[in-house]
């Protein structure tokens, strides 16, 4: 969609200035495809800077509590979509840092929905104790969230769960009505969200909410900045200096982006990842293969991230066969889901498991072959999105 800001005046705005400074220092490349998005986000910063109507203190404030009154005409939000590595998260993060809003939250969509479902469960338990099962949890939930933040920024917006699909339209309508401004990034257009999902008809109203309450813009850059950083880089690192090269590649891939912990819930358990950045996660062999994890955990991992930095993969012996089995399952899952895998290991793939007998030795031949295939340019060039 077009915006009303004058492209000739883009350098007068704070986000454009921040981008320009980074370009001049060589930290970013100038991308003309990003300018309409920068232009719109600068307009949004202007709107967020304006005094909010309905937020003045009332002489009767003591009677109704200290929470500010809901704002019915919130600034229009943004749904920014496009391919992986085009700079969507970087633009949103810069916008978030510049936003003159004290009560703001930047979160991965998956983590936000986990929190939402936990709150709904707690609310229902409370209602159950009060023997009231008829009440609707969505309005009070929207009210509580709107008191916590006035700006909500989502990274990697994707819907794969029917439980999420069933509540999103009503929850987000409630947030918009209470003055919350929403900025979200996604790899797909709104019309393709939850495509072929169970009971998708219940989700369709949310798509209309997005179109009516948010500006929908595509970042159609032909540059994949993530892949440009990998084009001449080894992604399976072994031998002397592997750890330092692995760290350098991690820093290059996450440059300019926010690194934060991530949590995935699987069958009532929580998988904790201290280092994640949008669709990129970093973990060690010990964390993924020496703990009692299984195929379901690796499937959840591949559904949440598109790139795994896997470090400290050791040379394995027969006594390590349980970890070997998990490593085989991990690589099989990542391969089946088309994930990008960057490895720091003690040896090349065909020398990681030095045992020449038993079921694991036979299966590891496939693992070694897949690890080698996942280093090639055809694999790297594959289009990748968020959770499938």
Give me the pLDDT at residue 302, please: 87
What would the mean pLDDT of 28-56 be, rounded to a whole number?
76
pLDDT above 90 (res 216): yes
Q: What is the pLDDT of residue 13?
A: 81
pLDDT at 9 over 80: no
Largest CA distance in the chain: 81
Confidence class for position 52, pLDDT limits 50, 70, 90:
low
Q: How confident is the model at residue 230 (pLDDT cuts 50, 70, 90)?
A: low
Residues 6+ apart with CB under 8 A from 205: 169
For residues 222-233, average pLDDT: 61
Q: What angle do CA 202, 203, 207 make, to 5 degrees?
A: 140
Q: What is the mean pLDDT of residues 114-134?
A: 80
pLDDT at 229 over 70: no
269-276: long-range pairs with CB below 8 Å, 24+: 271/297, 271/300, 271/301, 276/108, 276/305
Q: With 60 as the cut, is the pLDDT of residue 208 above it?
A: yes
Lowest mean pLDDT across 22-36, 139-153, 246-260, 351-365: 22-36
For residue 346, what pLDDT band results from cuts at 50, 70 and 90? very high
> Do 351 and 316 touch, CB atoms closer than 8 A?
no
Token digits of residue 100:
């003159």
Residue 330 pLDDT: 95
Mean pLDDT of the chain: 81
Span of 125-134, 226-235, 351-360, 375-384 with lowest mean pLDDT: 226-235
- Judged against a pLDDT cut of 50, whether residue 386 lies above it is answered with no
Give 295's contacts (C-beta < 8 A, 6+ positions apart): 329, 333
Q: What is residue 228's predicted lDDT score, i.e. its pLDDT?
A: 62
Residue corresponding to tokens 């338990």: 125
Tell me the average pLDDT across 152-175: 87
The candidate with the shortest Cα–Cα distance to 166, out of 199, 208, 117, is 199
Tokens of residue 242, six digits: 């592997």
In this prediction, residue 220 has a pLDDT band, given cuts at 50, 70 and 90, of confident
H or E segment and range at residue 379: helix 377-380
For the entire predicted model, the pTM comes to: 0.64
Give the DSSP per-residue string, 68-128: PPPPSSPPPEEEEE--TTSSHHHHHHHHHHH---SSEEEEEHHHHHHHHHHHHHHHHHHHH
The reported pLDDT for the residue numbered 342 is 94
Q: Are strands 260-266 and 269-277 parallel, antiparallel or unpaired?
A: antiparallel
CA dist., res. 154 & res. 366, Å (int): 38
* Total H helices, total E strands in the chain: 15, 11
Q: Does position 71 have pLDDT exceeding 60, yes or no? A: no
**Where is average pLDDT lowest: 229-233, 295-299, 360-364?**
229-233
Burial of residue 385 (number of CB atoms within 10 Å: 0-12, 13-18, 19+): middle
State the Cα–Cα distance between residues 257 and 237, nearest whole angstrom.
23
What confidence score (pLDDT) does residue 270 get?
86
Return the residue matching tokens 């694999």.
Answer: 379
């Amino acid at each position: 969609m077009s915006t009303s800001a004058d492209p000739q005046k883009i350098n007068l705005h704070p986000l454009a200035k921040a981008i320009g400074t980074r370009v001049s220092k060589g930290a970013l490349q100038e991308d003309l495809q990003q300018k309409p998005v920068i232009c719109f986000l600068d307009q949004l910063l202007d709107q967020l800077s304006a005094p909010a109507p309905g937020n003045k203190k009332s002489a009767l404030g003591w009677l109704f509590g200290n929470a500010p009154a809901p704002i019915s005409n919130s600034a229009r939000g943004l749904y920014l979509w496009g391919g992986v590595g085009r700079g969507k998260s970087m633009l949103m993060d810069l916008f978030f840092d510049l936003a003159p809003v004290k009560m703001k939250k930047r979160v991965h969509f998956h983590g936000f929905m986990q929190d939402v479902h936990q709150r709904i469960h707690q609310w229902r338990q409370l209602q159950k104790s009060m023997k009231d099962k008829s009440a609707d949890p969505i309005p009070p939930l929207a009210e509580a969230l709107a008191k916590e933040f006035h700006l909500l920024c989502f990274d990697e917006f994707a819907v794969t769960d029917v439980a999420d699909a069933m509540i999103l339209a009503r929850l987000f309508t409630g947030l918009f009505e209470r003055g919350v401004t929403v900025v979200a990034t996604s790899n797909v257009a709104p019309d393709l969200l939850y495509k072929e999902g169970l009971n998708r008809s219940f989700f369709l109203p949310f798509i209309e909410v997005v179109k009516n309450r948010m500006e929908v813009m595509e970042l159609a850059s032909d540059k994949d900045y993530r892949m440009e950083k990998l084009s001449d880089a080894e992604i399976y690192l072994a031998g002397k200096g592997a750890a330092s090269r692995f760290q350098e590649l991690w820093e290059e891939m996450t440059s300019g982006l926010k690194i934060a912990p991530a949590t995935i819930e699987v069958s009532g358990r929580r998988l904790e990842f201290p280092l994640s950045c949008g669709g990129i996660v970093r973990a060690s062999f010990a964390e993924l293969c020496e703990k009692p994890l299984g195929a379901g955990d690796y499937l959840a991992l591949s559904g949440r991230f598109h790139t795994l930095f896997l470090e400290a993969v050791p040379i394995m012996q027969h006594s390590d066969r349980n970890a070997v089995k998990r490593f085989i399952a991990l690589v099989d899952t990542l391969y089946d889901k088309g994930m990008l895998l960057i490895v720091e290991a003690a040896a090349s793939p065909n020398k990681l498991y030095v045992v020449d007998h038993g079921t694991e030795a036979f299966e590891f031949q496939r693992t070694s072959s897949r690890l080698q295939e996942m280093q090639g340019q055809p694999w790297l060039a594959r289009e990748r999105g968020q959770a499938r």
